[in-house]
Structure 1
């Protein structure tokens, strides 16, 4: 199958390209800068930008496209950029008579007053759904793997703070999923015609609170974590002190932390019947991620020193 992967330079996209090539698909990737892409040589690289209509049309001579683009790291108006990008892509893909698009969005029930980040993910889903192609949507919570920004945030918080004062969001339930399982589902829906036009929720086998997620990660790092919940510390206030403890870009960390107030748990398990697999337990997913992670990141003291000097994260 001829397949386009957008967002191929990202965490999920990079892993997906490798899996698609291993499954003998012909892969095209769309990137804003050909020189910045250092992935497998077997892929066809097309330079273009979904924010610039007409610049990426050459990438759409495929059977199926994965839409893995988001602008969260670009600043506070990421939702508007994501709307424009999705609209441009939907219109171009429709004009190109693309058969299918697969989109990886976020878990969360619309009735639960979703955070701005999750609302943006859902809005992109609706915009893509207006195209003339068949849209398949997978909704996931935290993806566990080396290179995942969400896991990087968890890993640094758990590893650097033996005592954590947190708001009540530590009791929010989440259903994390290992990157290998995400990739398996993404490839699987592309190869399963009956999934065209459908929306599925994907998650690992464990439903955990954020406190349990942090404590297990800390345990695997060789320590114990004490969590002290307080009622007055909101997720937004949490995002401010997180910038002093972690190396995660504040433009990314704040939307992620704002979203922890929403329970993100699978309620529709149809995908498990269509694409059955033994999903990795959270404990094993963390072990794999820690084993694959890059060199150690700076300490909180070094991080604070850089901020006081006015240098970039």
Structure 2
């Protein structure tokens, strides 16, 4: 089938496109700069802020993936809402049969961060156009180039000892990026997943501090963690921007979300896409290996 991928050049999208091509689909890689696109699929120029460009890009598409977010912007909630509204309307106008969206884990009855609330809002706005939306909700995605993973890796590699805020005790269920892609490709082949929401994660439920310690152990690095309960979200984000290459705005957005537990409670996705996801340790090794390969190639 013909499939559009919005966010084709992003962390997940650039991995998803070649897998869709390998699965036999005709892929349209949506980008604002088609002239410089070098990934899998056929590049098509479109912008989520321009409904007409979206309709043209989606013409004759059976399905469309939505992998877009604006974390680096201070008004990301407004931007993401507008983009999702445009995408849902354009999909309906173009006759797209289903949309597949990668969202975020988190309990609806929890006091969700602005980031996670925005992810929920996007789910509804995509569906408001009338096209069935399949949502995959994930927590931290482990893979070379992923923001959350890069924060983890860089903290471990730059600081043999660190003071940490309360959020290091929050539980999460990390998942390897290759497993996320496997789920994204898999649900497309299952018509019964249309219009449903699924939770995806790896086999390990860990506190953030455990994730840091496991990475340190895998890399053979010393790590002393000293919790500081009064370290505010603002100071936490400034701290992250000082010791990692994540900008303060993105850091603050992610830090706010780290107070929310993000674990899988519904495993029904495995009824449709059955496989054994990688452990956290194996996902880390894979991410480090990909980084080493990229560094060697450059």
TM range (shorter): over 0.9
The match for 2:69 is 70
**Structure 2: segments with no counterpart, 5+ residues:** none
Q: CA deviation at 1:169?
A: 1.0
Equivalent residues in 2 for 1:164-313 (5 A)?
164-293=162-291, 294-295=294-295
SS of the counterpart of 2:229?
A: coil
Q: CA deviation at 1:274?
A: 2.0
- Counterpart CA distance in 2 for 1:234 and 1:271 is 36
Q: CA deviation at 1:126?
A: 1.1
The match for 1:135 is 133
Q: CA deviation at 1:251?
A: 2.5
How many residues are treated as equivalent by the alignment? 293
Q: CA deviation at 1:71?
A: 1.1
The match for 1:153 is 151
SS of the counterpart of 1:98?
A: coil
SS of the counterpart of 2:49?
A: coil
**Structure 1: segments with no counterpart, 5+ residues:** 297-313
Select between 29-38 and 133-142 the one with higher mean Cα deviation: 29-38
Equivalent residues in 2 for 1:97-116 (5 A)?
97-116=95-114
Equivalent residues in 2 for 1:13-162 (5 A)?
13-40=13-40, 43-60=41-58, 61-73=60-72, 75-162=73-160
Is the CA contact 1:236–1:258 (under 8 Å) kept in the aligned structure 2?
no
Is the CA contact 2:164–2:231 (under 8 Å) kept in the aligned structure 1?
yes
Q: CA deviation at 1:252?
A: 1.8
Pairwise CA RMSD = 1.2
The match for 1:9 is 9
Deviations for 1:75-131, whole angstroms, at most 9, x for unmatched residues?
Answer: 200110111101111111111121000000000012211111111111111111212
Deviations for 1:156-210, whole angstroms, at most 9, x for unmatched residues?
Answer: 0111111111111111000000011101100000000110111000000000000
Deviations for 1:126-166, whole angstroms, at most 9, x for unmatched residues?
Answer: 11121221110000000001111110111001111111111
Q: CA deviation at 1:25?
A: 0.6
- Counterpart CA distance in 2 for 1:131 and 1:31 is 22
- Counterpart CA distance in 2 for 1:235 and 1:19 is 38
- Counterpart CA distance in 2 for 1:224 and 1:212 is 14
User: How high is the TM-score relative to the length of structure 2?
Assistant: 0.96
SS of the counterpart of 2:261?
A: coil
SS of the counterpart of 2:53?
A: coil
- Counterpart CA distance in 2 for 1:113 and 1:208 is 20
Select between 218-227 and 59-68 the one with higher mean Cα deviation: 218-227
- Counterpart CA distance in 1 for 2:99 and 2:4 is 9
